[in-house]
């Protein structure tokens, strides 16, 4: 698959469902550690989220992004935003996602490497040719194997 030049973490792998009564999300276990590990690697790193994500969730994502100087991308404009932001043209983009089934084929058409985090025993890539991981701690190993 080649060298990984950048990693984009989808909101679905960073945020865990919180208290349903308060409709609050929290960072998923291992998310901050993963962001720190990837940031220290020197690889381009970004966070993506879909239009319509609750404002509180966007605030959490932007806080994580600003604390590690990461790019934030809106999912609908992801491909057109990433290329100008990351001028290094060597390598591929790795996109870590858990539940964006409708968007994954579009990324596959751009030769992005898709890694799907299984959540609750389910994966978003059961019918697509993508790598699956069981927990966030597996991602650095996945990147080094590429």
The string of pLDDT tens digits covering residues 5-42 is 789 999 988 988 765 545 556 888 888 888 888 888 88
pLDDT band at 146 (very low <50, low <70, confident <90, very high): very low
102-115 pLDDT per residue, tens: 666 666 666 678 88
| Residue 119 pLDDT > 80 | no
| Residue 79 pLDDT > 70 | yes
**What does the pLDDT average to over 90-108?**
73
| Residue 54 pLDDT > 80 | yes
pLDDT band at 101 (very low <50, low <70, confident <90, very high): low
In the chain the domains, ranked by start, together with CATH numbers, are 4-145 (3.40.50.1000)
The 3-class secondary structure across 99-135, one letter per residue, is CCCCCHHHHHCCCCEEEEECECCECCCCCCCCEEECC
Which pTM was predicted?
A: 0.81
Q: Cα separation of 37 and 31, whole Å? A: 10
Cross-strand bridge partners of residue 116: 97, 132
**What does the pLDDT average to over 54-64?**
89
């Amino acid at each position: 698959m080649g060298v990984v030049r950048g990693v984009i973490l989808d909101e679905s792998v960073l945020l865990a469902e919180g208290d349903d009564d308060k409709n609050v999300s929290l960072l998923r276990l291992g998310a901050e550690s993963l962001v720190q590990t990837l940031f220290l690697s020197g690889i381009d790193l970004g966070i993506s989220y879909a239009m319509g994500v609750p404002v509180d969730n966007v605030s959490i994502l932007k806080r994580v992004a600003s604390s590690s100087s990461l790019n934030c991308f809106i999912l609908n404009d992801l491909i057109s935003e990433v290329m100008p932001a990351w001028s290094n043209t060597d390598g591929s983009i790795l996109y870590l996602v858990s539940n964006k089934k409708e968007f994954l084929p579009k990324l596959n058409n751009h030769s992005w490497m898709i890694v799907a985090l299984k959540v609750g025993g389910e994966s978003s890539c059961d019918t697509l040719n993508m790598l699956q991981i069981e927990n966030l701690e597996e991602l650095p190993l996945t990147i080094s194997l590429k």
